[in-house]
Amino acid sequence: MLWLFRAAKRLKALGILGMNRRNAACILDHNPRALYPLVDDKLRMHHLCRRIGVPTPDVYAVVGSHSELRRLPQTVGERGDFVVKPNRGSAGRGVLVLTGRDGRDFVRHNGERLRFEQMRQHLSDILSGMYSLAGRPDQALLQQRVRLHPIFEAVSYKGIPDIRVILYRNEPAMAMLRLPTKESNGRANLHQGGIGTGVDLASGFTHHAVQRNRMVVEHPDTGVPVIGLRVPYWREVLDMSRRVAEAVRLGYVGVDIVVDVAQGPMLLEANARPGLAIQIANGRGLTPRLAAIDAMLDARPAVIDIDERREVEPLRRSA
């Protein structure tokens, strides 16, 4: 058991934020549970983004009940280029990316064909809660598909990268770029084999990369370096992240952003319980950064709001 205590001590010395401390010091202290339903509901987040002027992919249709599946041909129409996702899903589960039509069938992002009946069954599974948080009945969203930005073409495999920014007290604390691979089946998901590349907050350049917790320098499918890449629209990405964090009123939140070739950065979703793998992607711990943000914000002078309209009793003259 001695090795376990030594390992814990080493992780603490490296500034690694562990699960227990994240839950106690970050989530419990800064994220009121009453605010969770907002970020857990993609449709509500979509409407919020529209109100605060943050770009987000269009929602073409919402399927809310099994009875609506009878009208699915009319709902979809001739559309073949869109994304199907559960409204309250997590970790990318249940997301279906479609890029075109082949007769009545659909074509997926990886080239596979999907029959219309399979599409209907997938929507039925979403409605039944197969992919939702806590397995509760859900809604299915038909949403705009983001188009790959040219900068990411050489470091992506049949998918769209996304940018995860963790914000603490509305300040960016750490960021990473997640890249899809063949192993992840074209999804920007680290648990499925995607690449996590740490992004320097000041410059927007990637400086460290891992796949399956192993350091990598090149994309395994293209051979192109994944370190030294500058994320486009970096200032806009950080500004958008701050605006979303302020709007959802969570003190510790993960914001996921994609970059569209035509529309630039767009909010994909927010997460009230962001994971800790971002530390592995960056090769450094979150704890020192959170402490620096606390020191910076707590050192700011308090702003005193003086109501100049308040009547002040005139001074009495001495007799």
Beta bridge partners of 125: none
pTM of the model: 0.88
CB 285 within 8 A of CB 168: no
> Residue 195: phi, psi to the nearest 5?
-100, 135
pLDDT value for 91: 75
Sheet holding 206-211, edge to edge: 214-215, 206-211, 195-199, 171-179, 162-168, 252-260, 264-271
> What are the b/e assignments for 24-60, b being 16+ CB within 10 Å?
eebbeeebeeeebebbbbbeebbebbeeeebbbbebe
Closest by Cα among 258, 193, 267, 200 to 229: 200
Q: Which two tokens stand for residue 75?
A: 């709902």
Burial environment of residue 260 by CB neighbours within 10 A (0 to 12, 13 to 18, 19 or more): middle
Q: 206-211 and 162-168: which strand pairing?
A: unpaired
pLDDT value for 319: 38
Encode pLDDT of 26-56 as tens digits: 999 999 999 999 999 999 999 999 999 999 9
Residue 25 DSSP symbol: I
Beta bridge partners of 107: 100, 113
Amino acid identity of 13?
A
Q: Which two tokens stand for residue 66?
A: 């099994």
Encode pLDDT of 144-166 as tens digits: 999 999 999 999 998 999 999 99
Residue stretches of the chain with pLDDT short of 70: 1-14, 302-319
The rounded distance, in Å, linking the Cα atoms of 58 and 67 is: 24
With tokens 């997460």, the residue in question is 271
The rounded distance, in Å, linking the Cα atoms of 189 and 25 is: 26
pLDDT value for 307: 54
Burial environment of residue 276 by CB neighbours within 10 A (0 to 12, 13 to 18, 19 or more): middle
CB 281 within 8 A of CB 209: yes
CA distance readout (Å), 36 to 40, 49, 194, 256, 273: 6, 16, 27, 16, 9
The rounded distance, in Å, linking the Cα atoms of 80 and 120 is: 14
- Count, residues in the chain: 319
The SS3 call for residue 32 is coil
Q: Which two tokens stand for residue 284?
A: 């450094």
